[in-house]
Amino acid sequence: ERLVSLVNGASYGVGTFSTPSLSELRRRAAAADLPPGPLQLSHVATRDVFALHSRPEYSGATFMAASQFNCLEFANPEAVPEDGVQNYAYDATQGPACALAAPAAAVVRHYHIPVGGEVGQSAERQLNLISGLLQAVQGTDGEQWRRGGGGVDEEQKELVCVRNGYSSSDEPRLLELNRRWREMCD
């Protein structure tokens, strides 16, 4: 797929955005026409992951980086999609650096994907890729956390809360989440 600028007509490849389930990924992998032999996997520790994207030996490589559950990159839980993608340039962490290696795709994830029956993400309408897990384990999608300041309240009922792509919890709640998850998987 392509993103076309309304200003100058420039066209940029953005790939296809999707959020498949683990079972869907397994189906796709089983049906894929893969080259023979094992996959080549490398762990490359670097302070500048952005620079790795332009190195010839990584052409066609897949990079795995930390990210938020809304497929966007924010420096803190108070940031919202309306803040735009330009702030990625000022955040030296791996998520924004990887997003900037494909800036047109970052624009698509911000402004052009369907969310909640509308197009684009906003402060009140965001992807929550952890919602299914949280619904299964705690009975809510975790989005009840709307107060400022971040962190976890003593009175909070949820084991994990989600705000602007960030998840928040504490050790006792995470232990309970793990206990419930193990119980569900048995």
pLDDT of residue 55: 92
Q: How far apart are the first and last CA of the chain?
A: 41
Q: Is the pLDDT of residue 19 over 80?
A: yes
pLDDT of residue 4: 96
What does the pLDDT average to over 67-87?
Answer: 87
Domain count for the chain:
2
Angle at 89 between CA 85 and CA 91, to 5 degrees: 100
pLDDT of residue 128: 87
107 and 168, same domain (yes or no): no
51 and 112, same domain (yes or no): yes
Inside any domain, residue 125: no
181 and 151, same domain (yes or no): yes
Inside any domain, residue 124: no
Inside any domain, residue 42: yes
The domain of 166 spans 131-185
99 and 18, same domain (yes or no): yes
Per-residue pLDDT tens for 24-56?
999 999 999 988 888 888 888 888 888 899 899
Per-residue pLDDT tens for 113-161?
999 899 999 988 889 888 888 888 888 777 765 434 344 455 567 778 7
160 and 95, same domain (yes or no): no
pLDDT of residue 77: 79
Interatomic CA distance for residues 46 and 153, integer angstroms? 36
109 and 30, same domain (yes or no): yes
More confident residue, 77 or 11: 11
Inside any domain, residue 9: yes
What does the pLDDT average to over 1-11?
Answer: 95
Inside any domain, residue 6: yes
pLDDT of residue 154: 52
79 and 110, same domain (yes or no): yes
What does the pLDDT average to over 69-92?
Answer: 87
More confident residue, 98 or 138: 98
DSSP calls for the chain: -EEE-TTT--EEE--------HHHHHHHHHHS-PPSSPPP------S-HHHHHTSGGGTT--------TTSS--SSTT--GGG-SGGGGG--SHHHHHHHTSHHHHHHHHHTSEETTEES-BTTB---TTHHHHHHHHSS-STT---TT-S--TT---SSEEETTEEE--HHHHHHHHHHHHHHH-
113 and 141, same domain (yes or no): no
pLDDT of residue 164: 75
92 and 172, same domain (yes or no): no
Write down which residue in 96, 119, 142 finishes a domain. 119
Q: Give the whole-number percent of the chain exceeding pLDDT 70.
A: 92
Interatomic CA distance for residues 117 and 174, integer angstroms? 32
9 and 77, same domain (yes or no): yes
Tokens at 22, concatenated: 């683990």
Q: Is the pLDDT of residue 10 over 90?
A: yes
